[in-house]
Amino acid sequence: MSDGATATARLAPWRRSPVASLGLYGHFIRLAFLKFLAYRLRYYTGVVSYTIFVAGHYYLYLALYAGRAAEGLGATVGGLTVREMITYVAISWIGRSLYFNNISRDLARMVTEGEIAMHLIKPFHLQSVMMAEAVGEAGFRLIMFTIPIMLVVVPVFHVGAPAGAAALLWTLVSFTLSLVIYSQLSFLVGCLAFAMKNIQGVLRAQMVGMDFLTGVIVPFTFFPAWFQSAVNWLPFQCISYVPVMIYLGKRTGPALVDGILLQVAWAVGLTIAARLVWRYATRRVTVQGG
Amino acid sequence: MEEVTPLQDVMRQDDATRFAFRDDRTRAARLAWQARIFGAYFVQFLKMRLAYRVDFIIDTLAVLFSLVIQLAVLSVMFSKVRALDGWTYPQVLFIYGFSLVPLGLFNLISVNLYGFADEYLIGGRFDRVLLRPVGSLAQVIFESFNVSGLSEIALGLAIMASAGLKLGAHFGVTDALALLFLAPGAALVYLGVFLGITTVSFWVEDKMGLAPPVYNLIRFSRYPITIYSLPVRLFLTFALPFAWVAFYPAAWFVGGERFSKVALLTPLVGVLVFGGAALLWRRGVKNYVSTGS
C-alpha cells in the first residue's frame, strides 16, 4: 500500500478508529478554546452585560414582592420566596453565560456565504465538529466568563447558596446537559439556512425567544397551568429551568432523577434529529459561488 | 520689477476653485436639497428591500414575536401584583408602548452605526463618504435603514392606544403634539449615546465591544425608574441617560403631576446628548486617516 492510500485510510471517517475520532474532535475542542482565548477582551464587557441583566431583574422582582407585601398578598410567588427568586435569576444568567453559543448564526453564515462546501469535502462531520467547538468554547467561558460573573453577581446580589453539596453537583451535571441541548437546538435552527436564503429574522426570534422559553426571564411557575403543561413538552425547559430548580432544591429525589433523565432524552433526541435534518439538507445544498 | 505670484499661492488658489463647493443657496434651500437626497436614499433602500419580500415579512414577524413575549412577561408580572411601586399595569404598558416609538425611529436609521468601524473605517467605505459634498454623519446614518423599525413604531402606537383606553385617559391634540415632540427627542438620546460609542473607533479599535452592554441596558429603561435604587436612578438620568428614552417622556402622559415637567426636558436632553456626540464625530473625522483599502 502506498503512503497516499494509508493517509486516505486514516482520514476516511468510516475507517477511522473511535480513538482516532476522539483525538480529531478533541483537537477541535482545544482549537475552539484557544480561539476564544484570543478574543477574551470582549468578555470583560460581557461581565458588565450579565451583571446588568441580573440587576434589572433583581430590582423588578424586589418591586414585585414589595408590591405584594403592600397589597397583603402571600410572600411566595410560584413557590419561590423573594430570596429564592433573586437566586433563580442569578443562577439562570450564570448558567446562560456557560451554555450560550452562536452555532445557529455561524452555521447560517457558512451556508449563505458558501463556506459550507469546503466543510462538506473534509473528512469530518460538521455537526460533531460544531459540538466539539461548543465544548471548547464552554471551557473557555467557564474560566474567563462564568466564574468572573459569579464573583461579581453572587456577593452583590446576595445570591443564595445551593440547596446542598449533592444539589450543586447535580446542577453542574444538569448545566452540562444544557450545553448539549442548547447546541443541538441551535444547530437545527442554523440548518434552516439551507431552506431559506436569509435567516436573520429567525436568528433574531431565537435570540429573543430562547431566554423566555428556557425560563431565564420568568420562572414557569409564574405562568398559568396551561402554559406550564405546554412547556413540559418542549426541550427549552431542560436548558435552564431544570438545572436552576435543582440548584434551588426544588427538584430532589425522584423529581431530580426525572429531570436529569428528561435532559438526557432531549440531548440524545435532538442530536439524532439534527443528524437526520443535516443529512437531508446537505443532500440538496446549492452554493451560489461563495 | 514685476510682482511674481509665488507658485504655491497659485496652486492654492487653483485648488480652492477646484475643490470649493460653490454654494450660494440659502441655508433653507440647502437643507431641502439634503432632505431630498436622503429621501431618495430611503426610496432606493425600500426598493431594494421589497425585492426580498419574504425577508421583510420574517423580520416583521420577529418584531411581533419579541413584542408578544414582552407583553407576556408584563402580564404575568401583573397577574401576581396590582402595582409595581405604585405603577399599575396599564401605566407600565403605556411606558412600554411609548418606548417602542423612539426605539423604532432609532433602529430605522442606526444600522450603519453597528458596523461602522468594520465597514467604513477598516473596509474603506468612509473615503467615498468624504468625497461627497454632503455631511459625512448624515450620509453614514442614511445610507442604510432597518425597515422593522417602522413595525416597532406602529406597534408602539397601538400599545399606547390600548393602554390609554384601559387607563380611561383622554388624549387630545396637546398629547399628540407632545408625542411628536417627545418621541424624536428620545430617539435623539439613543442616537447620541450610540453615536458616541461608534465615534470612539476613530481613535481606538474597539476590542472590548462597548456597545452590547449599553444596548442591553435598554430593556430595563422601559420600567418605571422609581423601582431602582437611587444610584441606579442617578446613573440612568445623568451618566447613561436611558431614563430619557422611555420613562421620563412617557411619564408626561401617565406619570401625573410629579413627572410632567421633567418629561418636557426630553428633547433638550436629546439635543445635548446628540450634539455632544456630533461634535465628537467632527473631531473624529478630522482625526481620520484612510487605511487605503
Cβ separation A67–B85 shorter than 8 A: yes
Residue A125 exposed, middle or buried by CB count within 10 Å (0-12, 13-18, 19+)? middle
Cβ separation A208–B65 shorter than 8 A: yes
What pTM value is reported for the model?
0.87
Q: Which of B76, B79, B212 sits opposite A49 (nearest CB)?
A: B212
Residue-wise over B204-230: b if at least 16 C-beta within 10 A, else e?
A: eebebbbbebbbbbbebbbbbbbbbee
Instruction: Give the integer Cα–Cα distance in Å for B174 and A155.
Output: 48
Domain locations in chain A as residue ranges: 10-283
| Neighboring chain A residues of B103 at a CB cutoff of 8 Å | none
Task: Give CA separation, A214 vs A44, A154, A208, A219, A238, in Å.
Answer: 25, 21, 11, 9, 7
Q: Which residue do the cell numbers 421633567 mark?
A: B262
**Nearest CA distance, B263 vs chain A (angstrom):** 22
Q: Which of A42, A52, A212 sits opposite B208 (nearest CB)?
A: A42
Residue to test with chain A: of B71, B151, B208, most A Cβ within 10 A: B208
CA nearest neighbour of A232 among A216, A213, A250: A213
Task: Give CA separation, B41 vs A137, A142, B8, B113, B142, in Å.
Answer: 41, 46, 40, 17, 7
Band (pLDDT 50/70/90 cuts) for residue A155 is: very high
Band (pLDDT 50/70/90 cuts) for residue A177 is: very high
Count how many pairs of residues, chain A against chain B, have C-beta atoms within 8 Å.
107
Three cell numbers, residue A240: 435552564
| Neighboring chain B residues of A53 at a CB cutoff of 8 Å | 216
When the pLDDT of each residue in chain A is averaged and rounded to a whole number, the result is: 90
The 8-class DSSP code of residue B115 comes to T
| Neighboring chain B residues of A208 at a CB cutoff of 8 Å | 62, 65-66, 69
Q: Which of B81, B207, B223 sits opposite A41 (nearest CB)?
A: B207
**What's the confidence (pLDDT) of residue A124?**
87
* A3 pLDDT above the threshold of 70: no
Q: Is A82 on the interface with B (CB under 8 A)?
A: no
Q: Which of B76, B212, B223 sits opposite A222 (nearest CB)?
A: B76
What contacts A196, CB < 8 A, 6 or more positions away?
A202, B54, B58
CA nearest neighbour of B105 among B144, B149, B140: B149
At A13-65, the pLDDT tens digits run 667 788 888 888 999 999 999 999 988 888 888 999 999 999 999 999 999 99
**Nearest CA distance, A130 vs chain B (angstrom):** 24
Torsion over CA of B281, B286, B288 and B293, rounded to 10 degrees?
A: 110
Cβ separation B59–A200 shorter than 8 A: yes
**What's the confidence (pLDDT) of residue B258?**
82
* A224 pLDDT above the threshold of 50: yes
Task: Give CA separation, A243 vs A87, A101, B102, B213, in Å.
Answer: 12, 18, 38, 26
Cβ separation B219–A56 shorter than 8 A: yes
* A7 pLDDT above the threshold of 60: no
User: Contacts from A164-171 at CB under 8 Å and sequence distance 24+?
Assistant: A164/A249, A167/A246, A167/A247, A167/A248, A167/A249, A167/A252, A168/A247, A170/A246, A170/A256, A170/A260, A171/A91, A171/A243, A171/A244, A171/A246, A171/A247
**What's the confidence (pLDDT) of residue B32?**
87
Instruction: Give the integer Cα–Cα distance in Å for B245 and B185.
Output: 8
**What's the confidence (pLDDT) of residue B68?**
92
Helix residue spans in chain A (DSSP H): 3-11, 18-38, 41-70, 82-99, 103-113, 116-120, 126-141, 147-156, 165-195, 200-213, 225-231, 241-247, 254-283
Interface pTM (ipTM) of the complex? Answer: 0.84
CA nearest neighbour of A81 among A95, A61, A96: A61
| Neighboring chain A residues of B223 at a CB cutoff of 8 Å | 56, 59-60
**Nearest CA distance, B215 vs chain A (angstrom):** 9
- Please identify every stretch of chain B with a pLDDT value under 70, giving residue numbers as ranges: 1-24, 292-293
Three cell numbers, residue A2: 502506498
Three cell numbers, residue A121: 469535502
CA nearest neighbour of A181 among A242, A92, A223: A242
Three cell numbers, residue B56: 421583510
Residue to test with chain B: of A40, A65, A189, A208, most B Cβ within 10 A: A208
Strand partners, A77: A80
Instruction: Give the integer Cα–Cα distance in Å for B117 and B155.
Output: 32
Instruction: Give the integer Cα–Cα distance in Å for B249 and B265.
Output: 8
Domain locations in chain B as residue ranges: 28-287
What contacts A204, CB < 8 A, 6 or more positions away?
B59, B62, B66
Task: Give CA separation, B179 vs B98, B159, B160, B244, B263, in Å.
Answer: 9, 14, 11, 14, 11
Task: Give CA separation, A196 vs A2, A185, B107, B217, in Å.
Answer: 44, 17, 24, 32
**What's the confidence (pLDDT) of residue B101?**
95
H/E segment holding residue B187: helix B173-199
* A81 pLDDT above the threshold of 50: yes
Q: Is B170 on the interface with A (CB under 8 A)?
A: no
Three cell numbers, residue A37: 482565548
Three cell numbers, residue A39: 478574543
**What's the confidence (pLDDT) of residue B11?**
47
Contact B253, B165 (CB under 8 A): no
At B251-273, the pLDDT tens digits run 998 887 888 888 999 999 999 99
Contact B112, B76 (CB under 8 A): no
